[in-house]
Structure 1
Amino acid sequence: MATLTDRLDLLLGDATAAVLADQFELRTAGDLLRHYPRRYLRAGSLMAPEDLASGTHVTIAARVVEADIRPIRRDPRRKLLRAVLDDGRNRLGVTFFSPHKVRHHIAVGRRGLFSGQLGTFNGRLTLTHPDYLLLPESAQARAGDGALLAPGQRVQGGGSLARMAEALQDSGDGLSAADLDRALLPIYPASAKAQTWTIMRCVRQVLDQLEPVADPVPQDIVARYGHVSLDAALRGIHRPSSEGEAAAARGRLRFDEAASMQLMLARRRAEDQRGKAPAGARRTGAAVDAFTARLPFELTEGQQQVLAEVRRDLEGAVPMRRLLQGEVGSGKTVIAVLAMLQAVDAAHQCAMLAPTEVLAVQHARSIRQLLGPLARAGQLDGAEDGTRVTLLTGSMPTAERRRALLEIASGEAGIVVGTHALLEDAVTFFDLGLVVVDEQHRFGVHQRDRLHGKARAGFAPHLLVMTATPIPRTVALTQFGDLDTSTLRELPRGRSPIRTSVVSMPDNPRWVKRAWERIVEEVADGRQAYIVCARIGDPSSEPASGSVSTPGSESTPGSESTPGAAPPEPARGAGGADADKAPQPDANAAVDVYDKLVQGALSRVSVGLLHGRMPSAEKDAVMRRFSEGDIDVLVSTTVVEVGVDVPNATVMVILDAERFGVSQLHQLRGRVGRGQAPGLCILISGRPAGAPSSARLESVAATADGFELARLDLQLRHEGDVVGTAQSGRTSGLRLLSVLEDEDVILDAREFAADMVQRDPELTRHPGLAEMVSTVEGTERGEFLFRA
């Protein structure tokens, strides 16, 4: 008898095991049985009239009930074979134009698999010259028809299924025609070296040897949620006798996948809650009240609700672990400032971690402007209850860095804003009470823990992580199940609408010219604009071929971008590289576009350039000049994606928009329309209007609902990105569970995990569950969840 941990080479032989390991990293019986069928061939189920249409590719299991050779009407010298298939529920006509090749195979009474594209003939669905695999009938089955097949009847095939038929002739491989003569035939993820029938045979051999599988989930839990046992699920998903058995197996295995993640997150949450946080009770009449009084606007109802949740957490001795998500421009920064001031009023320090230097500088500047005298403690014009806002980045001059480190270590700086430089060993806080992480997807648990370790001994700081990329509820429960979630959906009053248009450069080069003209018009009205490019470019290089057309330039309109030219700076979101297959030249580079525009279409306005390779002082100077209105148009890369707040900017042009993901496009356009004037975002695509990427761009243009776009983004990216495997190419272990579609399963698993960890925090009494958690922690999925 075999167990799930037994090696495949001992069960299947060295040669077969080596192929499975090489092709799919399957090394144990458990690995193989977790290589689930991707679908089943069901007799008749694919022939339901309401599901089929001409042009659909189908594979059906059916019996030949009519077969005869007849001449072609238009050319009687030529003949064809017409047959009728019956699956027990429907009949389908089949035509073969080479009857001499198939007449000995396609005979009345034969049963098999037929695969091809549906067409119509005389108003009826039909298959023309399908691939086929015909099965020899068992003696028992044929006896009912009054005849027996001759002994040694061979499996016969044609087209793409001929190779499968040839493989079945070798009776020594452990697979027989009886394995295919099933109501539900499993079809596996396969390769040329390990085809589906090979995997089918291996699975059957392992299941024949497998002893009953012990269930890691307590029986009362299995019964509570109406699931079958793990043993029944593993056998039922590979060799189901009915659709109900297959569905029950998938339901149990989905639950296990969700439970393994939720158990890991629940244990992490429980560990966090065992820590002691520096309590931050709100002080009446201190900095929080002074700041609230000087705000030039009223908080929205959503902001007030979220602020109440954050304040309640900060007052407790249990470390806050809260995710604050909200639409672009929904006012998350104000919530963060109020939270930090509450900690400052309680004599604690705050650290705000930003992913880029541009964003860190912008945050420091914005917070100082919002606080006014409250940010100038110790200065003549500083408020009595104020504090000091200190910036720390990796590229600061030595003298500035030394001064910042001293302010942090002495406690003089109540609010510290910085990049990854805050994580360095040299940074010592006097009394760290709150950590705010902006754009949390750019950081991970290990990096957050580095800041946690900078609190006073015996204490864990409160944590508030923020994202401007809305997250569907099920994804939040899957990725951030260790965090409480607060959501801001409404925009502050007075925020202007943003209109989005899509322009295909190959189809409408004149519209590109009109985009530049619109920018000039906006500048003439006292407004500003962004032009965003997918890559930086090299100042010493020649302009990219097919680059954006500007008056006076010799470039050819109709740029297309190439999937291989990924942006040097992080590009988040699905479809960052276009899925279109045609060859593409390089994307427009910021350096090249800047040079062309200042000499051409935008020669009469002030144009600035901003990208990630510029020295920090130069980036800061450009951003400051743009914020103050000295620069009319900013040509940049995605460094302006988040956190940049210039209310006077009303137009954004995104070049090679097909290179960006849905969420990233939504983030970028959120930089305009932040003032009183309406915003305009122009998505210029290097692809024709009918290209696959066009639908994605039109979706962005059709709605400003970030939550709807976030769901679309994840649908386009598929589940791999949700658990962090899409870029690595490694397996996630997430095989059946859909974090977008299986909300009920995730909620059941979350409830189960919370209850189980409360009763058995270390899972010492449930070693099977502990093994499930350790298995997840050892995969890319687990690594991603610890980074997320």
Structure 2
Amino acid sequence: MYNSILNTPVEFIKGIGPNRADVLKKDLGLFTYQDILSHYPFRYIDRTKYFKINEINFDSQYIQIIGRVISKKVVGEKRTKRIVAVFKDDTGLMELVWFQSLKWVEDNITVGVAYVAFGKPSLFNGTFSISHPEMELYHNKIAGRGNLTLQPVYNSTEKLKKFTLDSKGLQRIIAGLLDQVIPQVEENLPHYILSKYQLCDKKTALLNIHFPKNQQDLNAAERRLKFEELFFIQLQLLHNKQLRQLKFKGVKFDKVGEKVNRFYKEFLPFELTNAQKRVVKEIRIDTQRGVQMNRLVQGDVGSGKTAVALMSMLLANDNGYQACMMAPTEILARQHYASITELVTDDLVKVAILTGSTKKKDRTILHEQLESGEIDVLIGTHALIEDKVQFKNLGLVVIDEQHRFGVEQRARLWRKNTIPPHILVMTATPIPRTLAMTLYGDLDVSVIDELPAGRKPIETRHLFEGQRLRMFGFMKQEIAKGRQVYIVYPLIKESEKLDLLHLEAGVEQLSYQFPRPDYQISIVHGQMPNADKQFEMQQFIDGKSQIMVATTVIEVGVNVPNASVMVIENAERFGLSQLHQLRGRVGRGSDHSFCILMSGNKLSKEGKVRLETMVRTNNGFEISEIDLQLRGPGDITGTQQSGVLDLKLADLAKDQIILSEARNTVIELFETDPQLEKQEHSSLKAHLQKLERGISFDKIS
């Protein structure tokens, strides 16, 4: 069995046993030999360099010094008892201090003897000292080699430290395990791939990631293991895509008929952008092939994804099929329903909406019309996946902001037709290319990278707290022109931990600056009942209130073309992606629109970068790349739970080239050997069969 020894439970490692194994499993999620060997160091201490005492400063990290112990004494009593040694080299003096293992220090550290002292210095009473240094007898040869050269440092926990499994303890365990298993570790990448990308073999990589002799060996090990990690993610994603294409036949949309043509010629109130036309064409080609389409359409806020989705649904209708569109919230579902019913009439296509608040009487009628085929397009929330919702002939499913739905929720829509419907996934959250290749690597990706004609760029300004009156004055100017304003807060009530201008205090301040009856203020936040939220939003949509004060509940789903100002309070507390989404709530009409980022005077380095980025650019894809570098992949689209992004070494923000190499390699591999029948691909086939729980390639037809 391929590398079966690596599946051995951790309790069988020498020196672990059941109690330590239990803590390793609970605290670090390490269950097998493989898990232990994949618990890579998070940094390395350079033991090849030696410092002089007069070179120590406040910024010094771990250092090693060659010197002589010139005195040693016991200081204090009971709890304060410690041993303090004076350590001297040719540039000065420092102290070495031990609070524990005092008997060992008394017996083994000898005055007058030369040592190499290693540790992290700190300043106490004007003198630098090292607490609990590692001590090694000095001899001439040691200065040339250091100790363990690049010493690995491992993540541990307080509980593990009680079991002597701190970084040093883990280092010993891993060293022993490597000695035991390295001879049996098998290569899991074909030789031609290693040769093409000049990657070291698996055994060498494992040895050098944990105990590198130099930086060059460490770099080679990291590159090899990052490639392997990304390669196997891509192998699984592209295999799933290939499997689905072979396994799931798709309905054919053979013709472009009356509904699409009439809509394009008579109903569409604007000219499609070239980007929209390109994406519609890609969908058209996909749906003709007789294979289930799985396409992701990503486009910036306001890029016209809804029009593309509607034309795709009309294409399904033209070919005798129904279509549905699922949104994550009722607000967003109703927004889509309003947008689509503004663009079409009942004589062209019958559109219906189904949400959690749809009345029972209306549901009964809707279910009947859906099963008879009278309804062409159904828009809704999670309510669409209920078993009671049955279509006559569902041919296309559009999923908006799909990262907010679970895999099982999406799959339940697939099962509403004998032949699985085509899937069109839409997101207004621009996704960095590297993240799209991993998170959505099994989908075909379309990008709408062009805004409709007439859309004016939103002007973004950053103001500090001291400029608040200036901001209020600007709001009054815009309201006087007949426009409306959003104000978004990160919190509803005051927090003891976060000194933020919260929504309740904000409303109080605004009520003073914008008194009734001259101004009306709507308030919307997540803790309000749905009916109250809908009422307040409708007041704003109808223009009966000039200011909407809200939490991020309005991030998606509110479309008020007359709103020209978005004020974001404590903007430094928001992520870039969220700031960009909020900004996209304005600029939806023909008026010049503004986004005002309010912040405190003290900004973190990251906070400053985020606000400067927002002021500098409106390009969502550029913003998403910077967001990835600042935050990492986990938070950008709420994908912490996806599993796909459980990366041990690779960094999607930094390893774009390695990811591209890995993906291209897998694409070429499946082109030349789609069922992995060649001998050199046997380990890859075994890996996939293990992941697919024993599905045999030979059974795919």
TM-score band w.r.t. shorter chain: 0.7 to 0.9
Distance of aligned partners of 1:99 and 1:280 in 2 relative to their CA distance in 1, 3 Å threshold: closer
Instruction: Single out whichever of 335-344 and 106-115 deviates more from structure 2.
Output: 106-115
Q: Matched residues in 2 for 1:135 and 1:677: separation?
A: 72
User: Structure 2 CA distance, aligned partners of 1:214 and 1:80?
Assistant: 51
Q: In the alignment, does 2:429 pair up with 1:469?
A: yes
Task: For residue 446 of structure 2, give the secondary structure of its aligned residue in structure 1.
Answer: strand
Take 1:402 and 1:314, find their aligned partners in 2: how far apart are those partners?
A: 32
Give the C-alpha shift of residue 437 in structure 1: 1.1
State the number of aligned residues: 655
> Percent identity at matched positions?
36
Amino acid in the other structure paired with 2:24: L
User: Shift of the alpha carbon at 1:483?
Assistant: 0.8
Residue 740 of structure 1 is aligned with which of 653, 656, 668?
Answer: 653
In the alignment, the residues of structure 2 paired with residue 610 and residue 213 of structure 1 have an alpha-carbon distance, to the nearest angstrom, of 59
Distance change in 2, residues 1:318/1:2 (3 Å): closer
Displacement of 1:376 after TM fit?
Answer: 0.9
Distance 2:478 2:314 in 1: 38
3-state SS in 1 of match to 2:580: helix
CA distance in 2, matches of 1:134, 1:619: 63
1:449 and 1:745 map into 2 onto residues whose CA distance is 32
Shift of 1:54: 7.0
Equivalent position of 1:59 in the other structure: 62
Matched residue, 1:83:
89
In structure 2, the CA distance between the partners of 1:692 and 1:742, relative to structure 1 (3 Å rule), is closer
Q: What do the CA deviations read for 1:185-211 (whole angstroms, capped 9, x no partner)?
A: 222223341211111111111122224
* 8 Å contact from structure 1 (residues 110, 134) kept in 2: no
State the Cα deviation string for residues 327-381 of structure 1 (Å, max 9, x = none): 111111111112122222222111111111011111101111122xxx312xxxx
- Partner of 1:315, secondary structure, is coil
Gaps of 5+ in 2: 72-84, 100-104, 694-701
Q: How does 1:162-561 map to 2 (within 5 A)?
A: 181-192=147-158, 193=161, 194-210=165-181, 211-274=183-246, 275-283=248-256, 285-371=258-344, 375-377=345-347, 386-455=348-417, 457=418, 459-505=419-465, 508=466, 511-535=467-491, 537=492, 544-545=493-494
User: What is aligned with 1:158?
Assistant: none
1:753 match: 666
Counterparts of 1:184 and 1:714, CA distance in 2 = 29
How far is the alpha carbon of 1:531 from its aligned partner?
Answer: 1.9
Q: Retained in 1: the 8 A contact 2:46–2:149? A: yes
Partner of 2:575: 661
1:588–1:693 distance in 2 versus 1, CA, 3 Å: farther
Residue of structure 1 in register with 2:78 after alignment: none
Inter-partner Cα distance in structure 2 for 1:757 and 1:518: 59
Secondary structure of residue in 1 paired with 2:170: helix
**Within 1, Cα distance between the matches of 2:4 and 2:173?**
13
Cα distance in structure 2, aligned partners of 1:650 and 1:398: 39
Change beyond 3 A, Cα 1:628–1:315: farther
Distance in 1 of aligned mates of 2:306 and 2:195: 46
Partners of 1:700 and 1:105 lie apart in 2 by: 62
2:79 maps to which residue? none
**Secondary structure at the residue paired with 2:287?**
helix
Q: Distance in 2 between matches of 1:209 and 1:483?
A: 42
Give 1:523's aligned amino acid: I
1:98-137 → structure 2 map (5 Å cutoff): 110-116=115-121, 128-129=128-129, 133=133, 135-137=135-137
SS at match of 1:449: helix
- Sort the Cα spacing of 1:228 and 1:644 in 2 relative to 1 into closer, same or farther, 3 A: same
1:471 shift after superposition: 0.9
Is it true that 1:29 corresponds to 2:38 in the alignment?
A: no
* One-letter amino acid of the counterpart of residue 376, structure 1: D
Is 1:670–2:564 an aligned residue pair? no
One-letter code aligned to 2:249: K
Once the two structures are TM-superposed, the CA of residue 527 in structure 1 deviates from its matched residue by 0.6
Q: Would you say the 8 A contact 2:435–2:633 is kept in 1?
A: no
Distance 1:388 1:105, change over 3 A: farther
- 1:640 aligned partner: 554
Q: Which runs of 5+ in 1 are unaligned?
A: 70-78, 85-92, 119-126, 146-177, 378-385, 538-543, 546-560, 563-582, 779-788
Q: Compared with structure 1, are the counterparts of its residues 22 and 449 closer, same or farther at alpha carbon in structure 2 (3 Å cutoff)?
A: closer
| CA apart distance, 1:138 | 8.3
| Paired residue secondary structure (1:425) | coil
Equivalent residue of 2:5, what SS?
coil
CA deviation string 1:378-427 (max 9, x = no partner)? xxxxxxxx111111101111122222222222222211110010011111
Asked if 2 retains the 8 angstrom alpha-carbon contact of 1:4 and 1:30, the reply is yes
- Contact in 1 for aligned 2:258/2:318 (Cα 8 Å): no
Aligned in 2, Cα 1:498/1:301: closer, same or farther, shift over 3 Å?
Answer: same
* Matched letter for residue 360 of structure 1: A
Give the Cα–Cα distance (whole angstroms) in 2 for the partners of residues 53 and 663 of structure 1: 42
Partner of 2:524: 610
Q: 1:625 to 1:139 in 2, by over 3 A?
A: closer
Q: 1:95-127 deviations in whole A, cap 9, x for unaligned?
A: 52789999x889896434353489xxxxxxxx9
Q: Secondary structure at the match of 2:208?
A: helix
User: Which residue identity lines up with residue 489 of structure 1 in the other structure?
Assistant: D
Residue 239 of structure 1 and its aligned partner are, at CA, apart by 2.3
In structure 2, do the counterparts of structure 1 residues 528 and 273 end up closer, same or farther at CA, with 3 Å as the change threshold?
same
Q: 1:417 to 1:134 in 2, by over 3 A?
A: closer
Q: Given residue 366 of structure 1, which amino acid in structure 2 is its aligned partner?
A: S
Shift in Å at residue 774 of structure 1?
7.7
Contact 2:322–2:395 (Cα < 8 Å) also in 1: yes
One-letter amino acid of the counterpart of residue 41, structure 1: I
CA contact (8 A) 2:96 2:131 kept: no
Q: Which has the larger helix fraction?
A: 2
Question: Is 2:673 aligned against 1:713?
Answer: no
Distance 1:131 1:365 in 2: 68
Residue 689 of structure 1 aligns with which residue?
602
What's the counterpart of residue 80 of structure 2? none
The one-letter code matched in structure 1 to 2:414 is H
Contact in 1 for aligned 2:457/2:587 (Cα 8 Å): yes
Residues 534 and 733 of structure 1: CA distance in aligned 2, closer, same or farther (over 3 Å): closer
